[in-house]
Amino acid sequence: MNLKLKRAETLHKLNELQAKYPNNMPVEIAKEFTNMLNEVDLITNEIRYNQLIDAGNNPETMQVETNDFTHQYNQRAAKKTLGDAFKMLATGERSKIDNNFLIELGEKNGLREFRTEYPSDSIVQTNLTNVFLELIKDDRFLSRIPQISVKESYLKYPVVTRENYPVAEGKANTDALTGSDTNFTSITLQPKNSYVLSRFHKDVIRDGGQRAYDSIWASCRQSITKRLVNGILYGSTSNNGEFNGLDNVSGATIFDTSGASITDYSLITRGAKALNDKFVDHEQIITLMNPNTYQKYSNLRELSTSGSYLAMPEQIRNISMISNAQIKTNYSSDKTKLYMMNPASSILALFGNFEMELNERFAEYDHAAALIIFRSDFAFLDPEHLFIATNLPTA
């Protein structure tokens, strides 16, 4: 059977099951639902593999699909699981949602189980962390950072250092190489506690339905991603309860702009060159900046303040430029920063426990609030893949 046709038929069956069991899927149906999602992923991977083979033979007609056909089902199930959990807290049905109950709730909503090509005793992913991962995928910056789920109390992540790497020595074939030692080290990731509060008027809960699920999802996503992004950017070297953020990465390339105004794309090309020299391609680079900085780049003109918009040099057009309001501005000096990095050189570890507790503080105002507790850690594995521009003017 044609692979695309087979995938379409499987997606049709998924839609039928989702329509038939909008609430509380029986366990057997949930397992069938998960297996069908896995099948869609396998078919999609096979289609992409065939397309890559065709592209190698016929590069002028290269077409490789990039759509994620199962994301909508995962996110819908995650939204409903989170919404149902919050509703139980808000209506007094439960005072706390723990790991086991959230997993059980996820199964009823068809939240898929995890499959990995690289199984490990220390890495596990459950319906519990799938809710968390779907929240992170909704953020443009966090979705680019590799994530793993850890069930142990810590994770040692191996890192290869570049000391004593081989250099060209003009040796003959029969001569022995020197300076070819490879050094290994590791970064230890440990759970750091984070606490965020999501608050809603009880009318949202009373109305129920998709409106409630979307509101709860959006609020939880905002509070969790803000906490994570702040830790990833800044963190603390003196507080063991904080991430070792990008500002604290030893060995990163730091460039002081000395307050020079942004008049062209030279800062981006400078950062790109610094990363290119460390074997990072343009397609792998993301640029993270304050919204004011992003607006400046968007409004660059050929004649300083007039004329046509300044075209970005073709060499750097593949670099993603992302605006994030959490990049701080020093208002006393009106200076900010710009980050360029290879996100694949970082890692966000999510540790098993993810809890929700009812917070009574807002009850008298006819609000319901849930305290969300999660444990995570972040590490940047290769400092040479990070470029930070400082003292960038905001005005």
Instruction: Identify whether 339 is part of a domain.
Output: yes
Instruction: Identify whether 261 is part of a domain.
Output: yes
Supply the pLDDT for residue 118.
Answer: 36
326-355, pLDDT tens digit by residue?
898 877 778 899 999 999 999 998 886 667
Cβ(296)–Cβ(263) below 8 Å: no
What is the number of domains present in the chain?
A: 2
Give the domain extent around 322: 246-346+383-393
Supply the pLDDT for residue 117.
Answer: 36
Instruction: Identify whether 150 is part of a domain.
Output: no
Tell me the pairing of strands 346-359 and 147-150: parallel
Instruction: Identify whether 308 is part of a domain.
Output: yes
Cβ(300)–Cβ(262) below 8 Å: yes
Cβ(338)–Cβ(389) below 8 Å: yes
DSSP per residue, 61-115: G-------SSHHHHHHHHHHHHHHHHHHHHTTS-SEE-HHHHHHHHHHTTPPPP-
Q: Which of 35-49, 243-257, 284-298 has the lowest mean pLDDT?
A: 35-49
Instruction: Identify whether 365 is part of a domain.
Output: no
Average pLDDT of span 314-321: 90
Inform me whether the pLDDT recorded for 177 exceeds 70: no
pTM: 0.75
The domain boundary, picked from 69, 96, 111, lies at: 69
Tell me the three state secondary structure of residue 54: helix
Instruction: Identify whether 290 is part of a domain.
Output: yes
The domain boundary, picked from 21, 38, 69, lies at: 69
> Of all residues in the chain, what percent are helix, strand and coil, respectively (each to 5)?
40, 25, 35
d(CA 294, CA 301): 14
Instruction: Identify whether 258 is part of a domain.
Output: yes
Write a three-state SS string for 131-151: HHHHHHHCCCCHHHCCEEEEC
Instruction: Identify whether 117 is part of a domain.
Output: no
Tell me which amino acid residue 305 is. Answer: T
Q: How confident is the model at residue 126 (pLDDT cuts 50, 70, 90)?
A: very low
- CATH of residue 259: 3.30.2320.10
The average confidence (pLDDT) of the chain is: 79
What tokens does 33 get? 């639902």
Tell me the pairing of strands 335-341 and 386-393: antiparallel
